[in-house]
């Protein structure tokens, strides 16, 4: 199982997923603060 996991990481899928999660979280924060500034 560990070797399969290593192969999965080496493909870069995990890195793509991590980048997508970070961008999504940052985008959500930006949108939330923007909405608060506009509405307040």
* Per-residue DSSP letter, 5: H
Which residues contact residue 14 at a Cβ distance below 8 angstroms, ignoring those fewer than 6 apart?
8
Tell me how far apart the alpha carbons of residues 12 and 27 are, in angstroms, rounded to a whole number.
22
**pTM of the model as a whole:** 0.50
Per-residue confidence (pLDDT) for residue 25, from 0 to 100: 94
Phi/psi for 17 (5° steps) reads -65, -45
4-34 confidence digits (pLDDT tens): 877 777 777 777 888 889 999 999 999 999 8
| Kind and range of the H or E run holding 20 | helix 13-39
User: What are the structural domain ranges in the chain?
Assistant: 1-39
Question: How confident is the model at residue 23, as a pLDDT?
Answer: 94
Q: How far is CA 26 from CA 1, 7, 17, 32, in A?
A: 33, 29, 14, 10
């Amino acid at each position: 199982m560990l070797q399969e996991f290593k192969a999965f990481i080496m493909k870069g899928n995990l890195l793509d997923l991590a980048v997508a999660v970070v961008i999504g979280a940052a985008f959500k924060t930006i949108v939330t603060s923007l909405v608060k500034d506009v509405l307040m």
